[in-house]
Each structure stands twice: as structure tokens, then as C-alpha cells.
Structure 1
Amino acid sequence: MATMAAGDERAAAEVLRTLARHLNCLNEDSKSTRKRALESIKRETFEKGLSSGVLQDVFTCLLKSLLKCMSDPMERCRETAIQMIGDFIRGVPQPEDCLPYLIPVLTHRLGGKEILEPAEELRLAMLEVLTLTVEVCGNRLAPYVDDMVKILQRTIVDPFPEAKRESCKCTVNFARCVPEHFHMQAESLIKPLMQTISHQHSRVRVAAIEATGAVIQHSSGKNMDDVLSHLAQRLFDDSPQVRKAVTMVVGGWLLHLPDRYSFFHKLIPLLLSSLTDDIPEIRLLAEDLWRRTGAQWEKENEEDLKDKLDFLITPPALYPAGVERPGLGCRELVARNLSRLLPAVSRDLEDWLVSTRAKTAQLLRVLLLHAEDHCTQHLQPLLATLYRACANNEPGVIKSCLESAELLGCFVDPEASLKLLLAHVENSSSSSSSSGPLMVLAAMLRGCSQDSLRPHLVWVGDTLASPDICQESQQRVYLEQLLGCVQALLNVCEEHCGTISLQLLQVLVTVQSLSSEPELQNKVEETMGLLCSVQGLNGRADLYRQHMIQLMDWLSKTQPSWTNYSVQRLQLEVIAVQSGPVIGEFLPLFMPLLQGSLQPNRDPEMRLHFFTLLSKLLLDSPNTLDSQRKFCDHLEVFLQELLLPNLVWQAGRTAAAIRTSALTCLLALLQGGGITPQQLLSVEKQLTPQVLAALDEDSQTSRLLACRSISTLLRLVGPDLSPDTLNTIYPELLKRMDDSSQDVRTVSLSALGRWLSCLGKDYNVQTCRQHLEFLFQQLLLHLDDPNSSVQDHVLEVLKTGSIVHPELLEQEVEAVRNKQRSPLHCDQLLLHLQSLPKDSA
């Protein structure tokens, strides 16, 4: 060994003699001379293959000169010197010998208030040398902690991104090499690291996060709060590598941070947020770190968890399918910190950034999945948080919050949750955010088990069917959530919902009456079908038949106070239309509601709507009002109490509109088969005057309806009418031949044709000759009408009526033939009359 050491000394002395001239040249003023000297020194050392012992001696002698060259004005000289120092440190057996000289120079060049090294590539090279020094010297750098921190403080915020990265790497290595000394200065690196952690280059952000992890790991932990908010922001980073770095750092702290128990409530949300990351790799990493954290905590607290470990708790019966239940340690960690986590979660769910709200909503679901039945003791703040979050317009936020509400249904006894939920639904029904509690209620009901929910069905059903709840709002979102509650009850409790079938039907009727949107109407139809199915009913008719008495009683309680804006008016319309033939089975209950609502002193607009409803029903009376052929028992009341009083003339546009609606209803009655000819004859004397009076209405629609009603009346019972009644009708129809509306003229002409065709044996043509003569004369006037279609129509009517008294008609035609603009139609009519059998009179 002595021989080898002596040999190294001789070799080193030989090398130094060779380098002596080049070392002298380093002091020359010429840049090129200094450059050539450095290159020559490099050749004579590293390219000669010298042993490490020789290199050590040479390095010791060259170090000061090389360090001086690091301040050389020529960039190439500085670069070569830095490179050579790095090569020496890498190759010598005792690199720590250079520290007393190297560290001060690097501190001077890199750690001052101003950057002395202008070339960014050279700053990077110096930092690489410093990192190398940390790697090879390790804890021997302990005396230089202050200098190292000065350098890192400055270089972490270096303008050159690669220098930032290298500085962060050096920070990580240095913190691990001298942990017992580093913690005293670690705090001073937090500020520069937080300035760099949001750098535009993702690789710089990753390096800053890793350095932050190492600094906090080997510090007192006092700066944890200064760091966590920045790391939380990086969970929303666009770069998966950045999010992965945050996950690694936080997971490392949860496993290895000396004072980690003090920070569990702050670190757990960060790691659990990564469990829902979009990148599978990050999710798997977070799952592994969290599993290890829980297992480690479980082992550390084994004595405290002895009872739970000895008797493994089975998962809840409704535990979400396809979800692996977290370990006991993980569940206990969340349960014991939940009270400290929820305030922050609640606050972040109202953050102005959508991404923050969405991530927090996902985190809440993960927390509840871990907390299980421990949610019960935090139920009130949890529900309040979900109410506000569900008022959010962001679908992703709402989806995650509703999943959380379903978990509450799984884990919390409905008796506890419903007490709070239903009270809030009742108290908030009039507020602008009233749909939030209903949304949460529907989701929670979906999560409940049938056995746990069944004892509370009546309670829930009565609450939903309460007028203050189901009739409170016409907003679509509110009605959708109301419908969602009904669907949840039906899907969970199925046939047991028979006990609240009436309440659910009341809710469905109300939703259908308050919304005309086709999509929502279809959902109501589907839900009503489900309500029938769970009870084994054949269809909607059976459902209404089952509850019609209660429904009518339900509505009759408020009938005296109805107006057009009353929900009950809409509900009655829905029931009457949707129940189909069933409404005909309950006319004794239905008619009084109509009778009270159609009195002339009631709200005009409400009466308009009810007449429209009646028109729909009467047009299909065999399948609605007259399905049991019992409408005849109520016909007199219908006419005397409902219809005729509303046909009485009163001044004003509103009164005219009501008369029009009443005429529509009358026409529907006549055309829909709701009245037999015998019944019609019995009320004809009360009906005819009112209809004839309507022929003089200002409204064209009313006149048209009156004409059609007269025509239908004649079709049904015309031959059975008395001559006096018939003679009262035709003059009023003739007046309509001069109507301003072509439609009215056409219908009145058709009615006259029907009048002529229904003259029976009781009509004495001789006695009534004057009436026929007047009618023929008036029709012949219109035979010369400017409108050719009217001429043709009149001709057909006269041909139809020619059989009544052909001689009289021929006489009247001959009298006017030459007075008309064209005798064509008169000639056609005469030819028709001549073709009639002689005994037709």
C-alpha cells in the first residue's frame, strides 16, 4: 500500500510538472490562451487514464485555479472549468475535500441577490455539479446547510426552466442527505417553491411538487398550511403527470410524515380526490397509497381497534354494487376526521369554479362511502350541503351529489333521515331553491332498502301529496323531482305502495295538471303505468276506479273557492280526461263539481275551460260521460243548471266568449250521442229559443255554432217537431243567408235544406202555404247570388224541397225567371220540377 501511495504521489507530481506551464497560462490576458490552457489541462488529466489516487492529488492542486476560472469573462472558459470540476468530483475517491472551496464559490455565483452567471446553460451546469456533489458527499454537506439553502432559494426561482428543475432535484437529494440539519432551514424554501409550483412548464411543476414533498417531509411541518392550498390547485392541473406527482407526495406524507396524525384531516381529502381522477394510472396509484395508509394506521392502532378487528363488520346490505369496500383502517380514518372535513367540503361545493365544485362533489361521495353509518351523526350538515349543491346548474356536480344522497339512503336509518328531509321539504317548498330538498329526497329514497322504508310509506306519501308540496310550483325541475320521489317509492317498495296508492295518484295528477311539456307528460304516464303494475291493476281505468270517490271528495272540499288559476280546476280536468269511461260511473260526484263551477257568477275564464273540457267529453260520450248509459239521469241538470244559464245574453266580450263555449258544448252534446232523440224532444222548447237567439250573435263563431246546432237538431228530431216550432226556425236561418261570413251562409243553407227534408205529414202545406211561399222566394233570390257555389248549393236545396209543394215552387220560379241575370239555374230547377211524379204533391 505504501508503495502504491508513493507511486501515486510520483505520478501526480509528474502530471503537475506537466501542467505547470498551462496553469501559468490561466493568468494570461488573452482569452484564447486561457481557453487553450484549460483544454490542455483536460487532455493531460482525464484523457490520460490516470488512477483515482492521482486524480485526487491533481484535483487538490488544480481546484483553486479551476474555481477561479468559473469567474472568467470568457463563457467557454467558465464552461470548461465547470465541466472539469464535475468530472473530478465524479472520479476522485474523496470529493468532500473540495467542499470548503467549492461551496463558497457556488454560493457566490448562484446564491446572491443578483445572478452573477449570465449564461443560463452555465447556471444549469453549476447546479448539475452541485447535485452531483450532494449525491457523492451526502451528509458531509451538513456544515454547509446555510450556503446550500441560499443557493436553492435563488435557483428554484431561476428564470431558466431547466435550472428550476435541477434545483428542485438538488433540493430533494439534499433534504434526504442531511435531514437532521435540513429541517432548521427547510421553511425558507417554501416560498420559492410555491412561486415555481404553478410554472407554465408541466415538468417544472412536477419537480416543484416533488421538492415540496421532500422539504415538508424533513421540516417541522409548520408550513403545511402554506403548501396544501397550492397542492390542491394542482389536482386540477391539465397534465396527468402533475396530478400524479401530487398524489405521490400526499400519499408519501400520509405514510411517512413524522407528525402525520396532526395533518390527517388536511391530507386525506387530497389523496381521496385522486381516487376519482380521469386517468386510470393515477386512480390505481391513489388506491394503493390509500390502502397502505389505512393498513398502516390500522396496525399502529391495533389495540384501539381490537373489538372491530375481532368481529369483522359485514358490509351494509345495500352496499353499492361493483364497489370494493375500503379496509377498516381507511374507513376509521375518514369516520374520525369527518367532522373536520365536512366544513371545507361544504365551502368548496359553493366555489365559483365549476371544476372545484365538481371535484369536491366527487370527494363527498368517496367520503360517505368510507363513513358508512357514521354519516348519521353528521346528517344535518350533510343534507344542508347537498341541498345547496343540488341547486347547482352543473350536471356533473348534481350527479355526484345525488350519488352521495343515495349512499345516505344505504347507510342511514330512514327514520332519522326522513325526519330532517321531510321537514325541510315542507319548510322550503315556497323558496326559489325548493327543488333541492326534493331532489335529495328522491335520491335518498332510491338508496333505501324496502324493509327499512316500508314503515314510513304513509308518512312520505302524505307529505308528497300535501297541497303545500305537490301544488307549490309549476317549475319543470320541481315537478321532475316530485315525480322522481314517486318513482323511487314505486321502484323500492313495489307492491307495498298500495297503501299510499291514492297519495301517489294525487301527486301524479297534480304534476300532469301543472305541466304541458310532452316529455314530462310521458314520464307521468310511465309512472302511472308502474303504479298500476305494482298493484296488479289492468290499467289506468282500474286505478281511477279504485280511487275516484276519494279524488272527487278531495276536490270538492275546495270547489267553492276555485278560480281559473286554481290547481284543482286543472286536476279535475286531468281526472275527467284520463279516467276515460270511469268518469261515467261517478257522475253523481262529478256533476255537482261542474254545476258549482259553471254558475254565471263564477270566474268567466274558469267556465270557458270547463266548457272546453265538457266538449271533449261529450264528443266521445259513449266512452266518457255516458259510458254507463246513465248520463240521461243528469241531462236535465246539465241543461238547466250548466248549459242554458250560460247561453243567456249578457253584454261584454267575456260573456260572448262564454256563450260561444256553451254553444260548442251544446253542439258536442248533439253530435256526440250524449242525448237521445226522445230526450232532445223533451227539452227542445227550452233549448230552441236560446239557440235561435245565438244566430244573431256578433261573433261569427257563435253564429256558425248555432247554425250547426240547429242543423243537428233538425237531423235528430226534425220530423217530430211541431209545425209551429218549424216555422219559428226557418226565418232565423234565412237571415243568416245574408251573413258576412261565407261559412255561416253555407251552414245555414244546409240547415234550410235539412228543414225542408224533415217536413213530415203533420206539416200541412196548404195551411202553411205562406211560409213556404216566403221561403221559396227568399231562396230564389239567392239562386241569383254572385257566388256560383252559392247558386249551386241553393239549387240543390230547392231540388230537395221541391217535393214539399212542387206547384208552388214552379209558380215562384216562373215569376222570377226573367228577373235574374241568368235563367240557367231557373231552367234547371223547372226541368227538375217537370220530371217529378204528378202525385208528388
Structure 2
Amino acid sequence: MACGDERAAEVLRGLVRPLNCLNEDNKATRKRALEAIKRETIDKGLSGAALQEVFSCLLGPLLKCTSDPVERCRETAVAMLSDFIRCVPRPEDSLVYLMPCLTQRLGGKEMAEPAEELRLAMMEMLSLTVEVCGGKQLAPYLDDVITILGVAIADPFPDVKKESCKCTVLFAKCVPDHFHMQAESLVKPLMQSISHQHSRVRVSVVEATGAVVQHGTGKHVDDVLSHMAQRLFDDSPQVRKAVTAVVGGWLLHMRDRYSYFHKLLPLLLSSITDEVPEISLLAAELWRKTGEQWERENEDDIKDKMDFLLAPPPLYPAGVSRPGLGCRELVVRNLGRLVPAVSHDVTDWLVPTRVKTSQLLGVLLLHAEDHCTQHLQPLLATLYLACADSEKEVVANCREAAKLLGFFVPPEVFLKLLLGHVEASSSSRCPWTPLMVLAAVLQGCSGPLLGPHLQKVSDTLARPDVCQESEQAVYLEQLVACVDALLLQCGGDCGAVSLQLLQVLLTVQSLSTEPLLNDKARESVQRLCQVQGLGDVSELYRQHMARLLDWLLASAKDWSGCSPQRLQLQIIAVQSGPVIGEFVGQLMALLRVCLQPNTDPEMRLSIFTMLAKLLLDAANSLDSQGSFSLESERFLCEVLLPNLVWQAGRTAAAVRTAALSCLLALLHGGSVTPGQLLCVEQKLSSQLVGGLQEDSPTARLFACRCLSIVLRLAGASLHPDALNKIYPELLKRLDDSSDQVRSVALKTLGLWLSCLCKDYNSQLYSAHLEFLFQQLLLHLDDPDSSVQEQVLGVLKAGSRVHPALLERETRAAKDKQRSPVHCDQLLRHIRSLPGGGEADEPRAAQPSD
């Protein structure tokens, strides 16, 4: 000891001059003096009692130098003080002088130390002091340290912020019994710095906040939770990791943690779904420890559950590890408080918040298991809100969460609520959300449990006010998803509700304008066949066709152009293929109701167009069984002909055109026999002649073609008076604006002439023939050479009817035409006939080649 004193005295004698120089006005002198002191003490490796004695003598001058005007002097003084504190045996002896100095330099309202590097050095010295002195020695200086930390945490220099946060953590651990008395004063500066632009600063602030709350009174947990929650969305993984570690530490060690479980659980559980594996694993481990600790602390309360409820439920998500009992109990006991908060945050204006909340919802439901039943109503309301989100990730997360309800909640419970919400969805802003949730829940439920409720679910989906509620693609898509879920879970049991499911899928196809959605619906129809072991779709339609047509017939009189039923009829008729021919009687009864002239014209237009396509391939559709001809005459009289009656308006004209196309397909397909045509000839001819006067060239063309087929099938059996009513309108079509109509009209006139058999008295009806020949001879001089050739062929056919009359009219017209070539050809043809030009007996004409 004496040796140490002698060594200290020797060193101090050598420092008399440098110490005196510290009071000089010359800054270079003061600087050299500090450097000399450092060389004679720290650099010479002085230690032990000697170093302590020297430090005691140098402390005052060095602390005074921390206020030196020269930055270099202050820097050297601070570095020497740090070295002394680090090396002396009893650094706590210096606290009585050191702490007031640091408080004056760092803790004042006005920044006493202007150099940020020196503020950092002083904060490092304070951290060192806290570390080497310990809590017992520092307790008397609690106010001074807290004052310094409060100012330093708000320092504009990032490194000072980080060091002050580090010091806060050290000080809180050193004086835990006293720290709580002043800890709350650090909350405000910490929260002001928690969103600093530097990620390392944010990490330090989060860690310091953890220490302040951990060793504080707990009064300010609410003040920091919202800020900590925001850091869960931080772009820096290190910040999120720090939040996770801090929150996990609170759950494990905070004194009053039981009072804050419902507020802390969401933060830690949110980190379990973090995209960075390191963070998610850390959160899972901390959560496991929290649950195990709670189990130990509450063993008496949960003893029965620990003994009997360790096995997972019989229906549990595949590939998912079941949380421990303590974790599950913590969630269950706080779920009532957590659900309202989740419901609130799932509609937050920030997308990351909604995404994180939707992930948290799934984690909560996985822990709650069958206890979800007690909170089903608010949970469903939350899911509806989330499923209406514009962010796809939010919707996907909530659908996965809804699937968990199917695992844990009995179907009789969730269906009672869900089906009611589906039926009442028309009043909601997003009517598809109950369907979306229903589809997800059904995917989670098992087939055996769902089987007894299959009829009820299918009947609800097939209700018109449900499946026809909206034409929005997202709504229809969820209808298909519900059907797919039933097919997936119940398989062959869906045969009992096959009709209802088919009705839903037909409705989707009839309402959807999206090709992809239509394809999905058709794929679902195929699956419906597969689960029943049916060969193809036609077998499915054969099974249900009678009830499907009755289903449509029930509302047929009320159909309009917007009714989905008209499209459902088209889908059934087209997709069923030959099967529709087995139910022609029912189909015709339906058509007689919906195609009356007093029904909606747009609807009739659509159905006539569909029928025309079917009739063109009648052998593979309507007439696949050869029974359509039994219904064709009635169909012609009661459906087609009434729709050919003229009515004003463009829509009515379009309907007549569609009806004519349907009539043409009927006649062309051979479904009407000549005998049937003769029975309706008078009405049919009258309407077709009227059709020749339509404004639409397409309608006139269809009418011409229909007349052509009628003449070919039954013209020879028509009364001459009936025949004479036809040709004048055909002659008018020779001046038609459509070349195609003119060509077909000429062909039809040729057929008309071929129908003049022996019953047609050419002498009696010579006036008709004369007028016909005169009009045809006018067009023999048509500007269009192709028309000339056609007319010539028709006249050659007509020459067999009354050659003498035609010869006379031809000679009369020859001199009036621009070119006599065709007249000469016609005259030569007439002279070549048996009897030459003197024949005046009627003969049957044949169409010219």
C-alpha cells in the first residue's frame, strides 16, 4: 500500500507543471498539458491503488477541461476520463463529481456540448460508468441519469440516440428497484424516435422501450403498444425481429403481464406469420415458452385439460402443428377481447395493416379451435368485411381462416348463421361475401358431418333469390365455389341434390359474361357427373331433364329479355345434345308459353335464334328420337305463324326475321311433311307473302327461301287460286335492292311454274300467265347479265305452260329491248318444243337447268 502511495506521489509530482498549464490562456499549451498528463498516467500503464490515487487528484481538473473552449481539449479530457473509469479499482468514487458534470454537459435544456462526436463520447462514458459501477452505487443518481437519457434519446445525432438507448437498457437492468420511479419520463422521447429514418436507431429505440416498460410501473404500456405495432410493418427485418423479442420478453417477464395479455398477444402472434423465417421461428419459440410458463403458473386451474385434452380434435388441418395447451388457453381466454380489435383493424386504410390482421385472424382461430363457436357471429361479420377487401392477399388469408371454422365449428351451428346471411345478402353492399365465406367453411368441413345438411345447403343455393341475386362475376364465382366444395367433401352423396346443384351451375352460365367463369361452371358440371358415376353430361341431363323443363315452365309466362331462364333454356337445349329429343313434348309446351306474341320480344328473338340452330341439326337434337314431326305442325301453327304477324317497330321486325329463320330451318330439316304443310297452307302462304314485303333484306330472303321449300314440297298439290296469290309478290322481288333476294325470287318463280300441273288451266288463267311473262321479259333485258341468264331459264321453263302466249309476248317485247339476243334464244327454244309455237294446251313446266 505504501508502495502505491509512493508511486502515486511520484507521478503527481511529475504532473505539477502540466496541471498548472491547464489554466493557461493559450489553447496549445492546454492541449500539450493534457497530452502530457495522458502520457504520464494512462500510457505508462499505471494501475491499482496508485492509479486510483492519481485519478482522485486529476478528476477535478479533467472534469473542468470537459468545458474547455477547444474541442480537442474536451475530446482528450473525455477520453482520459473514460480510460480512468475503465481501469481504476473504485470508479464509483468519482460519481459525486462526474454525474453533475455529465448532467450539465448533456442534460440541460440547452445543448451545452455542441460537438456531436463529443456528445457520443460522453454518452459512451456514461454507459461505461453504469456498466462498471453497478446499481447500488448509481441509485442515488437516478434523477441525473434519467435527465441525461431523456435529452440524449432525442439528440439529432443518430449515434448518440443509439448509445443513449443502449445506456437506458443497462441502467434499467442495474437499478430495477429504483428505475420504475422515473422510467415514464423516457417514454415520450423514445416514442418520438421510434420511427427514425435509420433502421439501427429504430432497433435501439425498440430495445430501450422494452427495458423501460419491463422495469417500469406498467402505466405506459398503452402509450407504446400502438407504436410497437407499427414497427411490425417495418421494412427492416431487424426492427421487426427486435419488436418480436421485446414483446416476447414482456409476455415472459413483465410484472403485470396478466393484465396485458390481450394487448400483447396480437403483436407476438402477428410475427409468427412474418415472411422472414428467422423472425417467425423466434416468435414461435417465444410463444411456446409463454404458453409453457402459463401452464406452470396455472397448473391447478387446467389440470383436467392437461390430463384429458392433449389429443388433437378428430378433424384437424393437415400439415399444421397444434399449439400447446397453454398457448391455446391464452388465446381462448382473451378471444372475446381480441375479436373486436381484429374486426376494427381488418378495415384499416393501410393495406399492410389489413394483410397482417387477416393473417392474425387465422392464427387466432387455429388456437381457439372449437371455442370459435362462442364467437361465431362476430367472427363471421369480420370475415365478411375482410372478404370484401380490394387486396387479394387479405381475401386469401381470410378464406383460409374461414376454412378453419369448418374444421372446428359443427355444421349445424355455422350453417344456421351462414345460410341466413346468404339469403339476406341482397341488402349488403358486397353480396358475395357470405357466399365466399360459406364456400371456404364448406371446404374445411368433413363430408360425413356435412352429409345430413347437404339438402338444406343445396336448396338454399338453388333458390332464385340467391343464385340469381347478382350478375357480378365475383358473386357467380362464389356460387361455383360452393358447389365445388360440396362435390369435394361429399362426393357421391351429392347425387341426392344433383338437380339443385345443376340448377345453380346453369344459372351461373346464363348470367356470366366471363368465358373463364363459364368454363369453370362447365367443369363443375363434369365433376357433378363424375361423382355420380355418369358417363357424360348428356346422362346427367337425361336424369333431370323433365324436372328442369318443369322448373323453367313454372316461370315461363313472366320471362323477359333480361330473364336468366331464357339463357338457361338455351344452355339446356344445346348442352344436352340428343337428350332434348327425348323430351320434345315438354319442350314444345314450354315454347308455346314463352313464345306467344304478347311476351317480351327480345326474349322471343333470343329463343327463335337458338331454335333455328337446333332445327338445322334436328337429327342430333330435337328430332333425335324421330318424334319431333308429331309436334311440328302444332309448333308451326301455335308458335311460328303467330309471330310472323306484322307489328310496328324494329324489335318486332327483328322477331319476325328470327321466326322466319326458325321456319326456314324447320322446313329445310324435313321435320314437316307435305301433308302437314297443306293443312296450314293458307295461313302459311299468307304470312310468307307478307314476309316478302319486310324492310329487312334478310327477312325477305328467308321468306323467299321458305316459299321455295313449300312449293317444292307441296306446290303440286296447291289449288291454282292459292298459287296465283304467290307469284305477284315474287315478281316484285325481282326489283329488290338485294341481289341475293332477286336470285332466290327467280328460282322460286321457276319452282312456281313447275307446280302448274294439269289442274292449272292455262287458258282460264292466261291473264295471270300473260302478266307473269311480261314482267319476266322486262327483266330479260336487265343490266345484270347473270339476272338475264336466270330469267331466260325461268322463261324456258314457263314455255311449257303456254308456249303460244309466251311466243307472242316475246315477239312483242323483242323490239323494245336493247339486245334481241335472249329473245331470239327464247323463240328458238319455243319453236323447238313439240308443236312449235302453236301449242296452247297447258303443260307442266320443269325448272330449267
Match of 1:352 in 2: 349
Question: Secondary structure at 1:442's aligned position in 2?
Answer: helix
**Could you tell which deviates more after superposition, 755-764 or 577-586?**
755-764
> Which of 134, 138, 142 lines up with 1:138 in the alignment?
134
| Cα distance change, pair 280–826 in 1 and its aligned pair in 2 (3 A) | farther
Match of 1:609 in 2: 606
Q: Equivalents in 1 of 2:214, 2:167: separation in Å? A: 15
Question: Secondary structure at 1:675's aligned position in 2?
Answer: coil
Matches within 5 A, 1:159-198: 159-198=156-195
Q: Equivalents in 2 of 1:332, 1:645: separation in Å? A: 75
Q: Equivalents in 2 of 1:521, 1:73: separation in Å? A: 83
Residue deviations 1:134-192 (CA, integer Å, cap 9, x gap): 11111121111110000000000001011000000000011111111111111111111
Contact in 2 for aligned 1:615/1:664 (Cα 8 Å):
yes
Extract unaligned runs of 5+ from structure 2.
844-849
Match of 2:231 in 1: 234
Q: Equivalents in 2 of 1:792, 1:99: separation in Å? A: 126
- Is 1:708 aligned to residue 705 of structure 2? yes
| Cα distance change, pair 394–673 in 1 and its aligned pair in 2 (3 A) | farther
Question: Secondary structure at 2:226's aligned position in 1?
Answer: helix
Match of 1:117 in 2: 113
Q: Equivalents in 2 of 1:360, 1:830: separation in Å? A: 97
Partner letter of residue 473 of structure 1? Answer: S
Match of 2:405 in 1: 408
Q: Equivalents in 2 of 1:583, 1:516: separation in Å? A: 25
User: What is the percent sequence identity of the aligned residues?
Assistant: 68
Q: Equivalents in 2 of 1:82, 1:828: separation in Å? A: 130
Q: Equivalents in 1 of 2:62, 2:787: separation in Å? A: 121
Q: Equivalents in 2 of 1:216, 1:292: separation in Å? A: 20
Contact in 1 for aligned 2:184/2:216 (Cα 8 Å):
yes
Partner letter of residue 415 of structure 1? Answer: E
Match of 2:4 in 1: 8
Q: Equivalents in 2 of 1:410, 1:557: separation in Å? A: 40
> Which of 49, 65, 69 lines up with 2:65 in the alignment?
69
Residue deviations 1:197-253 (CA, integer Å, cap 9, x gap): 011111000000000011111111111000110000000011111101100101111
- Is 1:97 aligned to residue 93 of structure 2? yes
Q: Equivalents in 2 of 1:177, 1:801: separation in Å? A: 125
Residue deviations 1:547-592 (CA, integer Å, cap 9, x gap): 2222233233333433333343443333333333222222332222
- Is 1:58 aligned to residue 54 of structure 2? yes
Match of 2:518 in 1: 521
Q: Equivalents in 2 of 1:833, 1:191: separation in Å? A: 119
Contact in 1 for aligned 2:458/2:500 (Cα 8 Å):
yes
Q: Equivalents in 2 of 1:226, 1:268: separation in Å? A: 16
- Is 1:18 aligned to residue 19 of structure 2? no
Q: Equivalents in 2 of 1:58, 1:823: separation in Å? A: 145
Q: Equivalents in 1 of 2:632, 2:163: separation in Å? A: 97
**Could you tell which deviates more after superposition, 176-185 or 552-561?**
552-561
- Is 1:35 aligned to residue 65 of structure 2? no
Matches within 5 A, 1:476-487: 476-487=473-484
Q: Equivalents in 2 of 1:411, 1:823: separation in Å? A: 97
Partner letter of residue 780 of structure 1? Answer: L
Contact in 2 for aligned 1:430/1:472 (Cα 8 Å):
no
- Is 1:646 aligned to residue 643 of structure 2? yes
TM-score of the pair, normalised by structure 2: 0.94
TM-superposed CA distance for 1:814, in Å, is 4.5
Q: Equivalents in 2 of 1:143, 1:110: separation in Å? A: 18
Q: Equivalents in 1 of 2:151, 2:747: separation in Å? A: 104
**Could you tell which deviates more after superposition, 155-164 or 700-709?**
700-709
- Is 1:333 aligned to residue 369 of structure 2? no
**Could you tell which deviates more after superposition, 93-102 or 149-158?**
93-102
Question: Secondary structure at 2:598's aligned position in 1?
Answer: coil
> Which of 145, 149, 152 lines up with 1:152 in the alignment?
149
**Could you tell which deviates more after superposition, 399-408 or 826-835?**
826-835
Matches within 5 A, 1:269-284: 269-284=266-281
> Which of 28, 38, 45 lines up with 2:41 in the alignment?
45
Match of 1:557 in 2: 554
Partner letter of residue 42 of structure 2? Answer: F
Q: Equivalents in 2 of 1:250, 1:452: separation in Å? A: 40
Partner letter of residue 610 of structure 1? Answer: I
- Is 1:500 aligned to residue 500 of structure 2? no
**Could you tell which deviates more after superposition, 368-377 or 504-513?**
504-513
Contact in 2 for aligned 1:532/1:538 (Cα 8 Å):
yes
Match of 2:749 in 1: 752
**Could you tell which deviates more after superposition, 507-516 or 764-773?**
764-773
TM-superposed CA distance for 1:693, in Å, is 1.9
Partner letter of residue 583 of structure 2? Answer: F
Contact in 1 for aligned 2:637/2:680 (Cα 8 Å):
no
TM-superposed CA distance for 1:75, in Å, is 0.6
TM-superposed CA distance for 1:372, in Å, is 0.8
TM-superposed CA distance for 1:749, in Å, is 2.0
**Could you tell which deviates more after superposition, 204-213 or 275-284?**
275-284
> Which of 212, 217, 233 lines up with 2:214 in the alignment?
217
Q: What RMSD, in angstroms, separates the aligned Cα atoms of the two structures?
A: 2.2
**Could you tell which deviates more after superposition, 226-235 or 543-552?**
543-552
> Which of 680, 687, 690 lines up with 1:693 in the alignment?
690
TM-score of the pair, normalised by structure 1: 0.95
Question: Secondary structure at 1:48's aligned position in 2?
Answer: coil
| Cα distance change, pair 639–297 in 1 and its aligned pair in 2 (3 A) | same
Partner letter of residue 519 of structure 1? Answer: L
Q: Equivalents in 2 of 1:182, 1:164: separation in Å? A: 20
Residue deviations 1:479-522 (CA, integer Å, cap 9, x gap): 11112111111111010011111111221122222223211211
> Which of 359, 362, 368 lines up with 1:371 in the alignment?
368
Q: Equivalents in 2 of 1:639, 1:361: separation in Å? A: 61
| Cα distance change, pair 797–46 in 1 and its aligned pair in 2 (3 A) | farther
Q: Equivalents in 1 of 2:337, 2:757: separation in Å? A: 96
Q: Equivalents in 1 of 2:160, 2:796: separation in Å? A: 110
- Is 1:456 aligned to residue 475 of structure 2? no
Match of 1:362 in 2: 359
Match of 2:667 in 1: 670
Q: Equivalents in 1 of 2:418, 2:488: separation in Å? A: 20
**Could you tell which deviates more after superposition, 526-535 or 819-828?**
819-828
| Cα distance change, pair 126–762 in 1 and its aligned pair in 2 (3 A) | same
Extract unaligned runs of 5+ from structure 1.
none
Residue deviations 1:449-502 (CA, integer Å, cap 9, x gap): 011100101111111111221122222211111121111111110100111111
Match of 2:436 in 1: 439
Residue deviations 1:11-40 (CA, integer Å, cap 9, x gap): 111111111100101001111111111111
Contact in 2 for aligned 1:598/1:642 (Cα 8 Å):
yes
Q: Equivalents in 2 of 1:128, 1:577: separation in Å? A: 84
Matches within 5 A, 1:581-660: 581-660=578-657
Question: Secondary structure at 1:781's aligned position in 2?
Answer: helix
- Is 1:83 aligned to residue 53 of structure 2? no
Q: Equivalents in 1 of 2:103, 2:316: separation in Å? A: 60
Partner letter of residue 628 of structure 2? Answer: F
Partner letter of residue 127 of structure 1? Answer: M
Partner letter of residue 114 of structure 2? Answer: P
Match of 2:847 in 1: none
**Could you tell which deviates more after superposition, 102-111 or 679-688?**
679-688
TM-superposed CA distance for 1:531, in Å, is 1.0
Residue deviations 1:794-821 (CA, integer Å, cap 9, x gap): 3444456566666665554444344322
Q: Equivalents in 1 of 2:65, 2:731: separation in Å? A: 125
Question: Secondary structure at 1:819's aligned position in 2?
Answer: coil
TM-superposed CA distance for 1:683, in Å, is 2.6
Question: Secondary structure at 1:565's aligned position in 2?
Answer: coil
Contact in 1 for aligned 2:633/2:676 (Cα 8 Å):
no
Residue deviations 1:712-742 (CA, integer Å, cap 9, x gap): 2233334444444333322221111112333
Q: Equivalents in 2 of 1:24, 1:789: separation in Å? A: 131
Partner letter of residue 319 of structure 2? Answer: G
Partner letter of residue 29 of structure 1? Answer: D
**Could you tell which deviates more after superposition, 219-228 or 610-619?**
610-619
Contact in 1 for aligned 2:358/2:397 (Cα 8 Å):
yes
TM-superposed CA distance for 1:638, in Å, is 1.3
